[in-house]
Structure 1
Amino acid sequence: MWTKIVPVTALIASVSLTGGTAYATPSTPVGGEALGSRGLVAPEGVKKPPKTQATSFVIADVDTGQVLAAKDAHGRYLPASTLKTLTALTLIPKLDKNRKIRPSKNACNQEGTAVGLSVKATYKVDDLFKALMMSSGNDAAMALAETNGGLAQTMRDMNAEAKRLQANDTVAKTPSGLDKPGQSSSAYDLALIARAGLANPEFKRYISTKTSTFPAPRGHYEISNHNKLLWRYKGMVGVKNGWTSKAQGSFVGAATRGGHTILVSIMRHEGYFWEEVADLLDWGFSVRGKATPVGQLVDPLPAAQAAPQPGASAPATTQVTPAVQPPLLDTAAKKQTDSSRTIGAVVIGGGLLFGLIWLGYGIRRRRGRSRL
């Protein structure tokens, strides 16, 4: 069983706290009123987006930020390893990529997908980011979090970064994306995070690297990128895929053709999604510049409204020890109908309902194992 949480679209604003910083939750969906629909939101006058088994998706033009089509864009779901995009975006500016660390036993023993870190080996931060974004290493995620001053500090930093980006559907509880009660994101937020990441040269380098050598206690071995579209889809830049037994399949990816970049994010897909994502990307390229956008990927908040959290960075090469994560305040969720109606050139969802609390987020404590 799984429980879906949808975001708040209320006529009142709520406030969430992230590491002591207060942020007002918008009274309408971020990116435009149409994106509050749980149904398909698509422009008129062009062919409809191809079908996908994903419960939620967003197709957007990275250059303009225009959302070309969406379904349940702000629906909150478990993000699985796509949450690592937020981990990377948050920590890349904070950590010296040439710094060397020896991971803790806690980091090396993380469950799920691992790159194979060893307490006997020394790694550059650069190596760990490759392991994070190419091989989806949960061990690398924890090692990076501990290098950033501990798990608690990293979770504060990640949630502050999400609020800065206006990714208000996102609550990070782990740096790896392994399932944890209260953790969530949305197709819209994954698109926001990925768009911000694509503007960072180091982030873009990690997600677009197909293969790389990786250090071992003795010598090196080769790791490869889990994003199959890097080999299959013309112009694919990369980004991140994820899977857990509770979250099912999730993916966010971008491709560039003719000087233009299209981004697709999907959540809650029960099967093999690569061909469907390719079709969604093809559709995005075919309608960009021709279709009336149904929404907008918003810009980050000004620094004055979203002051960065102070980082605690330990000195040079040393054994990194884990820290305990404090509970974070969960934000409110919204409830909407699946009905839709046509207004102007777009199909938008029915009436707004007040959302005041998390509804039935009954995810059992047993976590699904991350495979991607």
Structure 2
Amino acid sequence: MWTKLVPAAALLTTVALTGGAHAAPATPIGGESLSSRGLVAPDGVKAPPKSKATSYVIADAETGQVLAAKNPHGRLLPASTLKALTALTLIPLLDKKLTVRPSRNAANQEGSAVGLTTKPIYKVDDLFKALMMSSGNDAAMALAETNGGLAKTLRDMNAVAKRLQANDTVAKTPSGLDQPGQSSSAYDLALIARAGLANPDFRRYISTKTAKFPAPKNYYEISNHNKLLWRYKGMIGVKNGWTSKAQGSFIGAATRDGHTIIVTIMRHEGYFWDEVADLLDWGFAARGKVTPVGQLVDPLPVKPPVQRQVTASPAASSPVKPPPMLDASQRTDTSRLVGSAVVGGGLLLGVMWLWYGIRRKRSRR
């Protein structure tokens, strides 16, 4: 395994974007080699194709093996690739058949949009298609509002990121629009993609090429922005993104011969589609033949809810049982017994008084 350092200019750009240098942990998530800010590739094989991306990861989706990487934990602006985390978070939380009336705020989101109106004509399923196919920032906000609001959705997204151990990721928007403090990494995007591929609805949204989308009076067609869906053999999809500050970013996954390769890139200065295809080709050729340079870690286990222990008082733990209820026949028999006892007691008392009176008469004599 060998390491190639990134140019100083690229390193300074990374630091500037992330608001300062981030100290790498002693053992980074995924393995020691992934702490490098340069190229990390296996020995004994041809190096991965060159890429203008500041950061990338090539990984085997089944095994989680990282086959090669470049600055994998560099914290960068994710742009719309963050929508993969939005979808992964909200798909399990929202009913696909629910009808949504987007707010004016959602419909007026800046940047890429699918063209929402404020009419109740959209299903949640439609909004997820708009999110992952057309990269609709308006759809991202409408889904966040449906989930209980922006603040709750961001909490949910960041909680999912932590559970995935995507510790370089901080979500400040559901759309990926640039915000101070928002970040992710090529490694984290690979974790998110791998988790998303395990969800059938997530796979359906990212692999759909075209779909009908509701309009106030009819439908119109939307198409997937992932160009490799039409060009690359076995392409499943996932998500691309771009802003002027983040530049180009992309998450891609493809399957050949029953095996899936994930490629993520961040901060690419230009046209990246051909480079991603070359990185995917290299991944398919290398999988199973090289010593991995790292590992996509598994999510943390979901902790069961903590149940509050209630200590009962002795009286509460050993309640006094009321006497059993008597049925009609039992009540009648009991009444007879009581009555007999009363009568018998009265006769006995009368005999005793008679005997006492006789004794008194004899004593007076």
Map 1:168-207 onto structure 2 (within 5 A).
168-207=167-206
Q: Which amino acid aligns with 2:169?
A: T
Partner Cα separation in structure 2 for residue 113 and residue 4 of structure 1: 22
Q: Which amino acid aligns with 1:9?
A: A
Partner Cα separation in structure 1 for residue 213 and residue 139 of structure 2: 12
Q: What residue is the counterpart of 2:292 in the other structure?
A: 293
Q: What residue is the counterpart of 1:221 in the other structure?
A: 220
Q: Secondary structure at the match of 2:260?
A: strand
Partner Cα separation in structure 1 for residue 261 and residue 23 of structure 2: 27
Confirm or deny: 8 A CA contact 1:134 1:225 kept in the other structure: yes
Q: CA shift at 1:304, angstroms?
A: 2.1
Q: What residue is the counterpart of 1:272 in the other structure?
A: 271
Partner Cα separation in structure 2 for residue 121 and residue 112 of structure 1: 22
Q: Which amino acid aligns with 1:295?
A: G
RMSD of aligned alpha carbons = 1.4
Q: What residue is the counterpart of 1:238 in the other structure?
A: 237
Q: What residue is the counterpart of 1:70 in the other structure?
A: 69
Q: Which amino acid aligns with 1:99?
A: L
Q: Which amino acid aligns with 1:218?
A: K
Map 1:119-138 onto structure 2 (within 5 A).
119-138=118-137
Q: What residue is the counterpart of 2:116 in the other structure?
A: 117
Q: Which amino acid aligns with 1:170?
A: T
Q: Which amino acid aligns with 2:200?
A: P
1:4 aligns with 2:17: yes
Partner Cα separation in structure 1 for residue 146 and residue 88 of structure 2: 15
Partner Cα separation in structure 2 for residue 76 and residue 120 of structure 1: 39
Q: CA shift at 1:9, angstroms?
A: 2.0
Partner Cα separation in structure 2 for residue 218 and residue 121 of structure 1: 12
Q: CA shift at 1:28, angstroms?
A: 1.7
Partner Cα separation in structure 1 for residue 208 and residue 23 of structure 2: 37
State the identity %. 79
Map 1:33-44 onto structure 2 (within 5 A).
33-44=32-43
Q: CA shift at 1:291, angstroms?
A: 0.6
Q: Which amino acid aligns with 1:188?
A: Y
Partner Cα separation in structure 2 for residue 101 and residue 217 of structure 1: 13
String of CA shifts for 1:199-254, please: whole Å, max 9, x gaps.
00000000000000000011000000000000000000000000000000000010
Map 1:1-372 onto structure 2 (within 5 A).
3-5=16-18, 7-10=22-25, 27-304=26-303
Q: Which amino acid aligns with 1:231?
A: W
Q: CA shift at 1:7, angstroms?
A: 4.5
What is the TM-score when the length of structure 2 is the normalising length?
0.78
**5+ long unaligned stretches in structure 1:** 11-26, 309-372
Q: Which amino acid aligns with 2:118?
A: V
**5+ long unaligned stretches in structure 2:** 1-12, 307-365
Q: Which amino acid aligns with 1:136?
A: S
Partner Cα separation in structure 2 for residue 175 and residue 190 of structure 1: 15
Q: CA shift at 1:32, angstroms?
A: 0.3
Confirm or deny: 8 A CA contact 2:99 2:120 kept in the other structure: no
Query: Which one has a larger percent helix, Structure 1 or Structure 2?
Result: 2
Partner Cα separation in structure 2 for residue 182 and residue 189 of structure 1: 16
Confirm or deny: 8 A CA contact 1:69 1:294 kept in the other structure: yes
Partner Cα separation in structure 1 for residue 118 and residue 52 of structure 2: 41
Partner Cα separation in structure 2 for residue 7 and residue 299 of structure 1: 23
Q: Secondary structure at the match of 1:276?
A: helix
String of CA shifts for 1:114-146, please: whole Å, max 9, x gaps.
000001342000000000000000000000000
String of CA shifts for 1:155-210, please: whole Å, max 9, x gaps.
00000000000000000000000000000000000000000000000000000000
Partner Cα separation in structure 2 for residue 7 and residue 144 of structure 1: 32
Partner Cα separation in structure 1 for residue 302 and residue 232 of structure 2: 37
Higher relative contact order (CA 8 A, sep 6+): 1
Confirm or deny: 8 A CA contact 1:4 1:75 kept in the other structure: no
Partner Cα separation in structure 2 for residue 209 and residue 29 of structure 1: 35
Confirm or deny: 8 A CA contact 1:121 1:217 kept in the other structure: no
More deviation in 1-10 or 294-303? 1-10
What is the TM-score when the length of structure 1 is the normalising length?
0.77
